[in-house]
Amino acid sequence: MEKLVLNAYAKVNLGLDVLRRREDGYHELRMIMQTVDLYDILTLEKTEETGIAMTCNIEGLPCDETNLVYKSAKLMFEEYHLSGGIRIHLEKRIPMAAGMAGGSTDAAAVFNGINELYDLGVSKERLCELGVKIGADVPYCIVGGTALSEGIGEVLTMLPNVPDCVVLIAKPDFDVSTKYVFENLHANSLTYHPDIDAQASAIRAGDLAGVVRVMDNVLETVTEAKYTEITDMKNVMKENGAMRAMMSGSGPTVFGLYEKAEDAEKAAHIIRERNLAKQVFVSSFYHPVK
């Protein structure tokens, strides 16, 4: 194979808890991860000249060795002593610095893509071991679907598919850095913890109402406290039929779960009209073929 085009899916967190801040500064997390049908498109092409050549449709995103795509390709080339070079084009569609694991999912697509393009036959387990060197969420993105993620994000337990519903995703016009949110979270003095076990049980039982009932994200205590737009968007979603609306990851993206597409469309219209967000998507859960 000479060329491969693949989709890199974004995620939302149906539940996000921080257990504690470790001595080394990392945070111990428990998260329910779910891929959504919103994706970047990566084109991977073998080249005769050696080296990694990367391009992207977004002007502000560097395509050099700081990009997670570049870093992942370099790691795969070194690990498997690949000869020649590779050209990678990234068509970015997932909002950036948004709490949707955009960079991690691009990295994951490079691990999966190079494995396929060069017919390496590397197991998902091994790809995940390599992926965690790039970022804690990369192993999850390599497998995708519904999962309980623990540790710093690298300990994964796969779960059955969450029952389908309509997912409205809205990213306001400002960026939030994950680092800022964790630095401002008082992890060791949180008074409330979401019931992640109850959510995992509801998923195993195929009980969407049960999943929705315990949706919670402790990082809202930092990001939502700073940006009122997040509360405003959650309210618009809830007033227009969302079963629940919540921030994803460290934010500022907000998503709402709906039974009816027309309710999600109506909320999307209001969010755009009130200028709360420009990047607004009516989407669904994405379940990779197992």
Residues that bind ligand ATP (CB under 6 A): 61, 67-69, 96-104, 106, 137, 178, 249-250
Closer CB to ligand ATP, residue 161 or residue 178? 178
Shortest Å distance, C-beta 84 to ligand ATP: 23
Rounded CA separation 33/14 (Å): 6
Closer CB to ligand ATP, residue 177 or residue 228? 177
Q: Is 282 strand, coil or helix?
A: strand
Rounded CA separation 18/266 (Å): 33
Structure tokens at 206: 């195929």
Catalytic residue among 40, 137, 216, 263: 137
Residue bearing tokens 């991977």: 44
Shortest Å distance, C-beta 243 to ligand ATP: 23
Shortest Å distance, C-beta 30 to ligand ATP: 16
| 179 phi and psi angles, rounded to 5 deg | -60, -45
Residue bearing tokens 């195929």: 206
Shortest Å distance, C-beta 103 to ligand ATP: 3
Shortest Å distance, C-beta 100 to ligand ATP: 5
Shortest Å distance, C-beta 135 to ligand ATP: 7
Rounded CA separation 142/29 (Å): 19
Instruction: Count other C-beta atoms under 10 Å from residue 235's C-beta.
Output: 13
Residue whose C-beta lies closest to ligand ATP: 103
Closer CB to ligand ATP, residue 94 or residue 243? 94
Closer CB to ligand ATP, residue 137 or residue 263? 137
Instruction: Please indicate whether residue 173 is annotated as part of the active site.
Output: no
| 160 phi and psi angles, rounded to 5 deg | -65, 165
Instruction: Please indicate whether residue 11 is annotated as part of the active site.
Output: yes
Closer CB to ligand ATP, residue 100 or residue 202? 100
Catalytic residue among 11, 71, 171, 234: 11
Q: Which of 260, 232, 92 shows the shortest CA–CA distance to 172?
A: 232
Rounded CA separation 66/43 (Å): 19
DSSP 74-137: HHHHHHTT--SEEEEEEE--SPSSSSS-HHHHHHHHHHHHHHHHTT----HHHHHHHHTTT-TT
Count of alpha carbons within 13 angstroms of residue 128, beta-carbon side: 16
Closer CB to ligand ATP, residue 176 or residue 202? 176
Residues with active-site annotation: 11, 137
